[in-house]
């Protein structure tokens, strides 16, 4: 990315932070709080998600047969099914059916994808969105910022100003009730005048041809029942085998998206319906000026759209995208989305974490490339997804493909000189951060001179201009003596005979070369609990290159790390990890990067440092071997991937058992996200996300507390946000 492009992106993000960020943040906060409360009330949330995923896996596997089945069911009932190859094909067919008549629509992201409104208007038809938020955006001529709440970025005051300017009501509209009443009356007339009603479909059942619409307003039912022709538009992935299969999705979709136990309307249509219509009748009296007409000849068309989906089905890496039920939980749970919304974190149609898969599949990689880097791979969305899609991996794979689609003029030279497995066209910024291990080795070898040079004004200016490393961010200072070197000279202090356990402490790059003090503290704490420690010379886990979409390099790193740790694992020793994002690599991403046996061996024997200390104490080790906290007040922030792995409680429990007075942050993301916070195009967003955490640790109750955090990124961000230097929690347990 050029310096000009970085500057333009930074300006765009800054503009959205100023104009839309507050509305998006407040609304996603409400959705998240509702989701946590609503899903907690389910008897077995995880089992329900497993059931839903199983249904989608089966449906996508059998999709061609299910399409044939649903076609037969609907046509036997008197309807028509049209399988559209792409957007142009779908729009041609829909325009022929509408034939210039007035049409009203309920909310449908698939219709947004194919831009059907524009096609119908070009053919002479009048089209009105009847979902309140979609109506607002139609009037404003804006694109949606969210797949469930399209106008999430607009405040009530902005909507009132828009309506007052465009419609010039007799009395100015102000309150939400006034705005809603006006829209209902205005759109009610449009619905009564319309001859064609268009809807989407959350699900289509193959056995009966039933359409399931899950909505928060009654407009979809009106669009169907008040018109002579019903056109339903849905991607082919919306087909599920049977009506019975709808149950887990009805339970999950509202809870996952907006935090509702069940949305206001769950409508099941098995079209064509035969209810009466308001099909252009004569006036019959005041207040009831339309004559009901018979509905038994209602025309129904289901337009099933491919538009790249069948190719996605054959793509092992993008296939999971088709399991998506469009609930928006991935967007709502994403810290970056919460601050800028879909006008930055989104492509031509879709927004949020899953948008990368959709945009790459239906619009192409160029659309996905515009926003893909806003996914930091934190994995918080994975636990929130009701069908357990590995959204970070999809983002990573697409990022890798985008990297490989760029050819450099000197590919042959670059590929021969760089210490990675990537082609020459990879953006220099990505290559720099993806090779942080090499950079750290060099920085350590030449420290402290390397630190002085890197922090000097001219060097910072060059790095910002050429590599996009923001000069406002303090760079890490490398230690001359690495943790591995320190331990090699020092050696273990617990003999094999008196050892309670034997472990290999994994020396992640940051601990090995930058924050060596936490590694030394981890060694001493484990030894105090009678654990014999070894530190093998294992390299970078692959997290750094993976975050840049450098999958081949990440795989090479993973294989090297496994080779270094395999002797300890084979000898029955545990692997203890200090950095949570590296443990997440061992537990999650290594399943895709290593052979199955290697992954399972490492996954089954790896633990986060505070988790491991907790386990030792639970199994007989004495807390008296560790320093007494003596009531010291601590403010603790857990790393996002540590929370995803469910490990935060272990740290809190150990610190409290040791006598510390612990308060925890409920902020889910610090905003740093590894290299993300160093990039000039994202610096303002990173700091904006971090403000909430900074605010929590500067209250009357927390301002004087010792600040601790588990992750490297969290420590770096807190260091920038606060005037007191934070530490890793293991350092509180170290006698020194």
Tens digit of each residue's pLDDT (9 = 90 or more) over 585-599: 999 999 999 999 999
The percent of residues above 90 in pLDDT, for the chain, comes to: 86
What pLDDT score does 275 carry?
59
Q: Residue 620 domain-assigned? A: yes
Rg from Cα positions in the chain: 28
We report the CATH number of the domain holding residue 282 as: 3.40.50.10420
Of 197, 209, 198, 325, residue with least CA distance to 269: 209
> Furthest-apart CA pair in the chain: how many Å?
98
The verdict on residue 366 lying in a domain is no
Does the structure show a pLDDT above 80 at 414? no
Confidence of residue 258 (pLDDT cuts 50, 70, 90): confident
Mean pLDDT of 269-276: 71
- The contacts of residue 188 (CB under 8 Å, 6+ apart) are 222
> Peptide bond before 272: cis, by omega within 30 degrees of 0?
yes
3-state secondary structure (DSSP) of residue 148: coil
Q: Is the separation of the CB atoms in 326 and 334 below 8 Å?
A: no
Please work out, in degrees rounded to the nearest 5, the angle formed at the alpha carbon of residue 26 by the alpha carbons of 23 and 31.
120
What pLDDT, on the 0 to 100 scale, is given for residue 347? 94
Instruction: Classify residue 290: in a domain, yes or no.
Output: yes
Among the three residues 305, 340, 371, which one is the final residue of a domain in this structure? 305
Q: Does residue 143 contact residue 137 with C-beta atoms inside 8 Å?
A: yes
In the sheet with 633-637, reading across from the earlier edge strand, the strands are 661-664, 633-637, 706-709
Q: How far apart are alpha carbons 473 and 713 in whole angstroms?
A: 12
Decide if 429 contacts 544 (C-beta within 8 A). Answer: no
Total domains, the chain: 2
Measured CA distances, 668 to 140, 291, 413, 442, 642 (Å): 33, 56, 43, 34, 11
Distance CA 220, CA 198 (A): 8
Give the model's confidence band at 291: pLDDT under 50 very low, under 70 low, under 90 confident, else very high.
Answer: low
Position 313 in a domain: no
What is the pLDDT at residue 284? 40
Residue scoring higher pLDDT (294 or 512): 512
Is residue 467, in this structure, part of any structural domain at all?
Answer: no
Q: What's the pLDDT score for residue 424?
A: 81
Please report whether residue 44 resides in a domain: no
DSSP 361-377: HHT-HHHHHTTGGG---
Average pLDDT, the chain: 92
Residue 235 backbone phi and psi in degrees, to 5: -70, 150
Question: Span 427-438, mean pLDDT?
Answer: 94
Q: What are the pLDDT digits (tens) for 679-718?
A: 999 999 999 999 999 999 999 999 999 999 999 999 999 9
Contact residues for 324 (Cβ-Cβ < 8 A; gap 6+): 237, 354, 357, 358, 387, 389
Q: Is the pLDDT of residue 264 over 80?
A: no
How many CB atoms neighbour CB 523 within 10 A? 25
pLDDT tens for each residue of 166-225: 999 989 999 999 999 999 999 999 999 999 999 999 999 999 999 999 988 888 888 888
- Domain limits at 77? 63-305
Please report where in the chains the tokens 């993008």 appear, as a residue: 318
Q: Determine the Cα–Cα distance for residues 325 and 263; give it in Å rounded to an integer.
A: 15
CA distance 148 to 135: 14
pLDDT digits (tens, 9 = 90+) for 378-402: 998 999 999 999 999 999 999 999 9
CA distances from 657 to 577, 634, 653, 701, 706 (A): 21, 13, 6, 21, 17
Domain boundary among 305, 321, 349: 305
The long-range contacts involving 306-309, CB below 8 angstroms and separated by at least 24 positions, are 306/83, 306/84, 306/85, 306/86, 306/235, 306/236, 307/84, 307/85, 307/86, 307/87, 307/90, 307/113, 307/114, 307/235, 307/362, 308/86, 308/361, 308/362, 308/363, 309/235, 309/236, 309/237, 309/361, 309/362
Half-sphere exposure of 293 (CA within 13 A, CB side): 17
Q: Checking phi first, is residue 203 left (phi over 0); if not, alpha (psi -120 to 50) or beta?
A: beta
Confidence (pLDDT) at 262: 72
The pLDDT tens digits of the residues spanning 106-152 come to: 999 999 999 999 999 999 999 999 999 999 999 999 999 999 999 99
pLDDT value for 280: 47
**Is 607 strand, coil or helix?**
strand
Is residue 204 within a helix (H) or strand (E), and if so which, with residue range? strand 203-205
Sheet containing 211-215: give its strands across.
239-240, 203-205, 211-215, 265-269
29-33, 408-412, 727-731: least confident range:
408-412
Q: What confidence tens digit (pLDDT) does each residue in 549-600 have? A: 999 999 999 999 999 999 999 999 999 999 999 999 999 999 999 999 999 9
Report CA 2 to chain centroid distance, whole Å. Answer: 26
Residue 239 contacts by C-beta under 8 Å, 6 or more apart in sequence?
Answer: 59, 63, 66, 67, 70, 203, 204, 205, 206, 304
pLDDT at residue 282 tops 50: no
**CB–CB of 128/105 below 8 Å?**
yes
pLDDT tens readout for residues 479-521: 999 999 999 999 999 999 999 999 999 999 999 999 999 999 9
Number of Cβ within a 10 Å radius of residue 138: 17
Which stretches of 344-407 are DSSP H helices?
355-362, 365-369, 380-384, 391-404
Reported residue count of the chain is 736
Count of CB atoms within 10 A of residue 13's CB?
24
Read off the tokens for 159: 């909507």
Q: Does the pLDDT at position 463 exceed 80?
A: yes
Closest CA to 34 of 254, 191, 220: 254
Task: Quickly count: other Cβ atoms within 10 Å of residue 724's Cβ.
Answer: 15
Alpha helices in 479-550 (DSSP H): 483-490, 509-513, 516-528, 543-547
Which of 280, 305, 330 lies at the terminal end of a domain, its last residue? 305
pLDDT at 526 over 90: yes
Flag whether 515 is in a domain.
yes
Burial of 32 (0-12, 13-18, 19+ CB in 10 A): middle
Is 8 inside any structural domain?
no
Say if CB 325 and CB 386 are below 8 A apart: yes
């Amino acid at each position: 990315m050029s310096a000009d492009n970085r500057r333009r992106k930074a300006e765009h993000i800054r503009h959205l932070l100023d104009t839309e960020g507050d509305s998006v943040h407040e609304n996603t906060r409400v959705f998240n709080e509702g989701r946590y409360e609503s899903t907690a009330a389910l008897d077995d949330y995880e089992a329900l998600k497993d059931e839903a995923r199983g249904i989608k896996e089966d449906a996508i596997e059998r999709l061609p047969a299910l399409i044939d089945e649903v076609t037969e069911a609907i046509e036997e009932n008197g309807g028509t099914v049209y399988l559209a190859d792409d957007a142009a094909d779908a729009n041609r067919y829909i325009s022929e059916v509408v034939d210039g008549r007035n049409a009203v629509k309920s909310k449908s992201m698939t219709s947004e994808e194919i831009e059907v409104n524009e096609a119908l208007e070009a053919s002479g038809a009048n089209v009105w969105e009847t979902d309140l938020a979609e109506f607002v955006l139609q009037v404003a001529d804006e694109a949606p910022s969210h797949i469930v709440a399209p106008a999430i970025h607009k405040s009530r005051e902005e909507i009132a100003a828009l309506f007052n300017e465009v419609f010039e009501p007799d009395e100015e509209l102000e309150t939400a009730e006034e705005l809603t009443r006006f829209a209902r009356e205005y759109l009610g007339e449009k619905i009564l005048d319309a001859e064609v009603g268009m809807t989407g479909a959350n699900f289509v059942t193959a056995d009966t041809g039933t359409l399931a619409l899950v909505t928060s307003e009654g407009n979809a039912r009106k669009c169907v029942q008040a018109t002579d022709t019903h056109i339903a538009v849905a991607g082919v992935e919306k087909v599920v085998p049977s009506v019975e299969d709808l149950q887990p999705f009805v339970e999950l979709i509202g809870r996952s998206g907006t935090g509702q136990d069940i949305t206001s309307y769950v409508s099941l249509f098995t079209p064509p319906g035969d209810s009466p219509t308001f099909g252009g009748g004569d006036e019959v009296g005041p207040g009831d000026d339309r004559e009901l007409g018979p509905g038994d000849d209602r025309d129904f068309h289901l337009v099933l759209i491919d538009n790249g989906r069948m190719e996605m089905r054959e793509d092992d890496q993008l296939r999971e995208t088709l399991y998506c039920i469009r609930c928006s939980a991935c967007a709502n749970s994403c810290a970056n989305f919460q601050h800028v919304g879909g006008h930055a974190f989104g492509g031509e149609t879709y927004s949020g974490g899953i948008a990368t898969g959709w945009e790459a599949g239906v619009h192409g990689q160029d659309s996905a490339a515009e926003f893909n880097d806003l996914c930091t791979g934190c994995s918080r969305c994975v636990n929130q997804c009701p069908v357990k899609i590995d959204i970070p991996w999809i983002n990573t794979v697409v990022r890798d493909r985008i990297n490989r689609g760029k050819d450099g003029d000197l590919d042959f030279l670059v590929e021969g000189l760089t210490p990675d497995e990537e082609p020459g066209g990879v953006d220099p910024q990505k290559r720099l951060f993806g090779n942080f291990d090499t950079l750290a080795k060099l920085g350590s070898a030449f420290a402290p001179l390397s630190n002085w040079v890197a922090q000097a004004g001219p060097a910072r200016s060059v790095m910002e201009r050429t590599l996009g490393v923001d000069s406002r961010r303090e760079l890490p200072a490398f230690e001359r003596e690495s943790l591995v070197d320190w331990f090699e000279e020092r050696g273990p202090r617990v003999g094999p005979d008196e050892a309670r356990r034997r472990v290999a402490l994994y020396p992640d790059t940051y601990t090995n070369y930058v924050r060596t003090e936490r590694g030394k503290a981890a060694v001493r704490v484990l030894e105090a609990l009678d654990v014999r420690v070894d530190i093998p010379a294992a390299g970078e886990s692959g997290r750094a290159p993976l975050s840049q979409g450098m999958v081949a390099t990440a795989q090479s790193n993973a294989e090297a790390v496994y080779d270094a740790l395999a002797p300890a694992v084979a000898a029955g020793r545990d692997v203890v990890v200090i950095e949570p994002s590296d443990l997440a690599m061992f537990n999650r991403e290594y399943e895709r990067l290593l052979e199955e046996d290697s992954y399972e061996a490492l996954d089954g024997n790896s633990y986060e440092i505070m988790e491991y200390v907790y386990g030792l104490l639970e199994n007989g080790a004495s807390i008296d071997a560790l320093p007494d906290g003596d009531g010291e007040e601590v403010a603790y922030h857990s790393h996002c991937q540590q929370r995803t792995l469910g490990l935060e409680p272990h740290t809190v429990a150990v610190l409290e058992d040791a006598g510390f007075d612990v308060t925890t942050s409920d902020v889910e993301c610090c905003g740093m996200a590894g290299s993300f916070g160093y990039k000039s195009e994202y610096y303002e967003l990173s700091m904006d996300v971090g403000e909430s955490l900074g605010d929590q640790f500067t209250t009357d109750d927390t301002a004087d507390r010792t600040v601790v955090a588990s992750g490297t990124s969290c420590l770096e961000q807190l260091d920038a946000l606060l005037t007191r230097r934070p530490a890793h929690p293991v350092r509180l347990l170290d006698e020194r």
